[in-house]
Amino acid sequence: MLTRNPYEPLRSETLPARLGNLPEMTGRLGSAEGWRVREVGDGNLNLVFIVESTIGSVVVKQALPYARVVGESWPMSLDRAFFEYHALTRLGARDPGRLPALHLFDEGQALQIMEHLSPHIILRRGLIAGTFYPALGEHLGRYLARTLFRGSDLSMDTARRKADVALFAGNVELCGITEDLFFTDPFWDCPRNRHTPALAAQVTVVRADRDLKLAALEMKARFCMCAQTLLHGDMHTGSVMVSDTDTRVIDAEFAAYGPMGFDVGSLLGNLWMAYFAQAGHRADDAGGDAYRSWILQLAETVWEVFVAEFSLLWRTERGGILGGRELFENQADPLGAELMLHGLLADIWSDALGFAGIEMHRRILGLAHIPEFETIAEEERRAACERRALAAGRELAVHRRAFLTIAQVSDLVAGIEARAR
Ligand code: ADP
Ligand code: MG
């Protein structure tokens, strides 16, 4: 058993000897002599290995006792692997097939062995390359609706729900990182921050922008105080892997109970940033314009499919603590239930826009940046893209209740882009 040994990080060279006796490995790969191991972790926190043989492949993910992006000077508990495991199994059951299958979790080694997604790539890479994914919007909209609905009081009974909230309340370290990195750091001169130097004037404006800072703290309060459902908690385009026909969600270690709009808004904010980054990656010709329009359409599809699927689940599956059928359907008043649905969707929508707007700030002014902008080598060009994203992000965060439809957001985003040309 792995767990009898004290925790030790794997290395490509030691992995076959250390995992070579596990049936979860040998059953899929054959004996360890034939394994090829590559460390591919490009994330911020953990080790990720692809282990292949002539007959199969798996992914081995292991937490490190520090944040990989910063180094040993930022110690981090290994517990995050435990929360990722519990989130992966729950989210995977709520939208079957959308997360990688888990083969083994070993708590002592903070290690998961899971399905190797292939030929999938990280969605961010596909968006930088200008690739179209026809089914992506539907997959993501449905994923969000199913996981957020089925993880909430609209589905869970009291005993399961309270036990689960208590369990995930233990994910304090990663929750605390989100609280700081998302909602606070970008809006003051925090030493962890960095930004493209040409944005200096913009940064001064942001930090003096009281309305924006109010919005940031209001969204932080929503995130901290509204334990509406089990979130993925890091639902950006770097946590989605895609092939031509398939879409998968990975990396749920930031899972926490929070407001439904958080996962929705994180994803939408990243799609709108991918839109603004296009000017740094391709010519302003018909091809560039077509791809930009597709990204806006993708965001619209995600939201529209989310609404449709959430409404379907509401009508067909609603139960749990907040089901409320006794008050409406069972008294021949289905309209009451529809009104409740309508109000909830309106709250999720304004929350999502608020979270999207804050995400669009923290990815440009905070610690963790995104490859869409980072790979634009020429500084002035990168800064121009980032400025547009900040302008849109501010509108969304501050005026989140003024947007009634996603078409209005598409108009905002396209308008900012058009005026800048
Ligand atoms: P971190 O928690 O450190 O951010 P991730 O879970 O995001 O780690 O994984 C880092 C990288 O490893 C991903 O960007 C992806 O390229 C690769 N990866 C992770 N899980 C899988 C998987 N199941 N199949 C294929 N590649 C994966
Ligand atoms: Mg991660």
Query: Total structural domains in the chain?
Result: 2
| Residue 357 clears pLDDT 90, i.e. is over it | yes
Q: Which ligand is nearest to the CA of 251?
A: 1
Q: What is the pLDDT of residue 3?
A: 53
pTM above 0.75, yes or no: yes
Mean pLDDT of 191-212: 97
Mean pLDDT of 226-253: 98
Q: Which of 115, 130, 155 is the last residue of a domain?
A: 115
Q: What is the pLDDT of residues 260-308, one digit of tens each?
A: 999 999 999 999 999 999 999 987 777 889 999 999 999 999 999 999 9
Average pLDDT of the chain is 96
Q: Which of 115, 141, 168 is the last residue of a domain?
A: 115
Q: What is the pLDDT of residues 19-41, one digit of tens each?
A: 999 999 999 999 999 999 999 98
Q: Tokens in use for 215?
A: 């919005």
| Residue 1 clears pLDDT 60, i.e. is over it | no
Report the atom number in ligand 1 closest to the C-alpha of 121: 16
Mutate to test the pocket of ligand 1, among 250, 253, 369 (most ligand atoms within 8 A of CB): 250
CA of 173 to the centre of ligand 2 (A): 13
Q: What is the pLDDT of residue 244?
A: 97
| Residue 97 clears pLDDT 70, i.e. is over it | yes
Note whether 107 and 125 are same-domain residues: no
CA of 188 to the centre of ligand 1 (A): 31
Mean pLDDT of 155-180: 96
Report the atom number in ligand 1 closest to the C-alpha of 45: 3
Question: In b/e form, how buried is each residue of 309-344, taking b as 16+ CB within 10 angstroms?
Answer: bbbebbeeebebeebbeeebeeeeeeeebeebbeeb
Note whether 44 and 186 are same-domain residues: no
Q: Which residues have beta carbons under 5 A from ligand 2 (an ion)?
A: 43, 45, 251
Domain-located, residue 2 = no
| Residue 363 clears pLDDT 70, i.e. is over it | yes
Note whether 108 and 135 are same-domain residues: no
Q: What is the per-residue DSSP string for 135-174?
A: THHHHHHHHHHHHHHHTSTTT--HHHHHHHHHHHHT-HHH
CA of 43 to the centre of ligand 2 (A): 6
Residue 290 is part of which domain span? Answer: 121-419
Q: What is the pLDDT of residue 283?
A: 78
Note whether 31 and 158 are same-domain residues: no
Give the residues surrounding ligand 1 with Cβ less than 6 Å away: 40-46, 48, 59, 61, 100, 114-117, 122, 250-251, 253
**From CA 7, how far away is CA 4, in angstroms rounded?**
9
Phi, psi at 107, each rounded to 5°: -70, -40
| Residue 255 clears pLDDT 70, i.e. is over it | yes
